[in-house]
Amino acid sequence: MDLPLLSALFVTFALTLYVMLDGFDLGVGILLLLQPTKNSRDHMVDSITPTWDGNETWIIMAAITLFAAFPAAYSILLPALYVPVIIMLLSLGLRGVSFEFRVQTIKHRRKWDMAFAAGSLVAALMQGVIVGAVMQGVRIDGTRFSGSVLDVFKSLPLISGVALATGYTVLGAGWLILKSNASVQHFAIRGLRVASPLFALLFGAACIYAVNIQPGIRSAWGSHPIALACLVGLFAVCAGMLALVPMKTVPVAPFVFGLLLFVDCLAGIALIVFPDIVPFRVSLWEAASSSVSQQFVLIGAVCVTPVVLGYSAFAYWIFRGRTPEEGWGE
């Protein structure tokens, strides 16, 4: 277990937490597009307002750890993914400020809700495009990106984009089933019944397509057939549970299965990509910065992350239970 591997694990950890936490935030935002009732929209946003900022911070953690521990990978991937990353940043920005601005107006709140929803949807789509583009493979020349910024607009990234947005909708619906009042819960259950089979379908399609176009994935299957098959099985089980579980009696179930679905997907991707950091191009060790830098990050990560998780959990606990009808009173 050497330093680059540990750093890669931390990047994966941060990314996983991001996807799980901001995933449902973005999912709630996407569902806003389908919610016609103003009070329900307020209620939906209220459910994610107190904790969204911390959730979003995990993507910064992942990106910066990449910057610190694998600067070569950071400097290859970001120019390659320039277009979807920029669009994602602008959308996340629009979503983020909409939290604060929407409560300042009544007349224009609907417009800010649409901005919120659009920002969430586009950010989710772009994140999917990024995953797909990375799996598709980026063109490099040594440690320089040498392809075109338009390489990302091909089939796999585009399918992945829609798949991820649908997946986040599943998470968002699961969160709302857990946290919201009866009418929004009803709305969320209907949403989940559509989104989860759709997500399973799209994700499956993306995987099959990816296997076809990326030889690296085929060889990964060759190296770890049993592990990957188990993950596929787990995916099927979770997707099945999402369809079958009685949501009104066990409201926490859809959310938990949704999260498990995502952890499962991430584990699969990690397994397929390992030992590379720029998938199928540059290995962890080739891209790693010197051990002095890795040590600094890892010591910080090991010491501080438990504290972060502690007070983050505390914040969630403070805002536990169903979201109050009248909002947060400030």
Partner 1 sequence: MKLDPSLLARIQFAFTVSFHIIFPTMSIGLASFLAVIEALWLKTKDPLYLQIYKFWLSIFAMGFGIGVVTGIVLSFEFGLAFARFAEMAGPAIGPMIALEVLTAFFLEAGFLGIMLFGLHRVGPKLHFFATCMVAVGTLISASWILSANSWMQTPSGVAIHDGRLTVVSWRDVIVNPSWLYRLPHMVTAAYLTASFLVAGVGAWYLLKGKHLQFARRTVALGTAFATVLIAGQVFIGDLVYGTMLKHQPSKMQAAEGFWEKKSQSPAPYYWIIVPDQPNQRNRLAVGIPYLGSIWLTHSLRGRVEGLQNTPRDRQPRMGMVFYAFRIMYGLAIVMFAIGVASLWLRLNGRLFSSRRFLWVLVLMTPSGVIATLAGWYVAETGRQPWVIYGILRVADAISPVPATTLLSSLVGFICIYAVFITAFLTFTIRLIRRGPAGAPPHAEASGSLKNAFRPHVLDKPIRITIGVD
Does 85 sit near partner 1 (CB under 8 A)?
yes
Three-state secondary structure along the chain? CCHHHHHHHHHHHHHHHHHHHHHHHHHHHHHHCCCCCHHHHHHHHHHHHHHHHHHHHHHHHHHHHHHHHCHHHHHHHHHHCHHHHHHHHHHHHHHHHHHHHHCCCCCCHHHHHHHHHHHHHHHHHHHHHHHHHHHHCCCEECCEECCCHHHHCCHHHHHHHHHHHHHHHHHHHHHHHHHCCHHHHHHHHHHHHHHHHHHHHHHHHHHHHHHHHCHHHHHHHHHCHHHHHHHHHHHHHHHHHHHHCCCCCCCHHHHHHHHHHHHHHHHHHHHHHCCEEECCCEEHHHHCCCHHHHHHHHHHHHHHHHHHHHHHHHHHHHCCCCCCCCCCCC
Among 28, 61, 118, 176, contact with partner 1 (rule: CB under 8 A): 61
Q: How many residues belong to the site for partner 1 (CB under 8 A)? A: 70
Does 67 sit near partner 1 (CB under 8 A)?
yes
Asked whether the bond before 79 is cis by omega within 30 degrees of 0, the reply is no
Among 1, 182, 226, 292, contact with partner 1 (rule: CB under 8 A): 292
Closer residue to partner 1 in complex, CB, 102/238:
102
Closer residue to partner 1 in complex, CB, 14/159:
14
Does 63 sit near partner 1 (CB under 8 A)?
yes
Among 6, 9, 33, 97, contact with partner 1 (rule: CB under 8 A): 97
Among 30, 69, 239, 247, contact with partner 1 (rule: CB under 8 A): 69
Among 38, 144, 190, 248, contact with partner 1 (rule: CB under 8 A): 144
Does 283 sit near partner 1 (CB under 8 A)?
no
What is the C-alpha to C-alpha distance for residues 288 and 279, in angstroms, rounded to an integer? 14
Does 105 sit near partner 1 (CB under 8 A)?
yes
User: Which part of the chain contacts partner 1 (CB under 8 A), choosing from 99-107, 188-196, 210-218, 259-267?
Assistant: 99-107
Does 106 sit near partner 1 (CB under 8 A)?
yes
Residue 282 CB, nearest approach to partner 1 (Å): 12
User: Which part of the chain contacts partner 1 (CB under 8 A), choosing from 28-36, 257-265, 275-283, 308-316?
Assistant: 308-316
What is the C-alpha to C-alpha distance for residues 251 and 287, in angstroms, rounded to an integer? 44
| Dihedral angle sign, alpha carbons of residues 256, 262, 265, 266 | negative
Among 49, 120, 166, 214, contact with partner 1 (rule: CB under 8 A): 49
Place of tokens 């959730």: 55
Among 18, 24, 145, 199, contact with partner 1 (rule: CB under 8 A): 145
Residue 307 CB, nearest approach to partner 1 (Å): 9
Does 114 sit near partner 1 (CB under 8 A)?
no
What is the C-alpha to C-alpha distance for residues 213 and 93, in angstroms, rounded to an integer? 34
Does 83 sit near partner 1 (CB under 8 A)?
yes
Does 96 sit near partner 1 (CB under 8 A)?
yes
Point out which residues bind partner 1 (CB under 8 A): 49-51, 53-54, 56-57, 59-61, 63-65, 67-69, 71-72, 74-79, 82-83, 85-87, 89-90, 92-94, 96-97, 99-101, 103-106, 143-146, 149, 289-290, 292-293, 296-297, 300-301, 304-305, 308, 311-312, 314-315, 318-319, 326-330
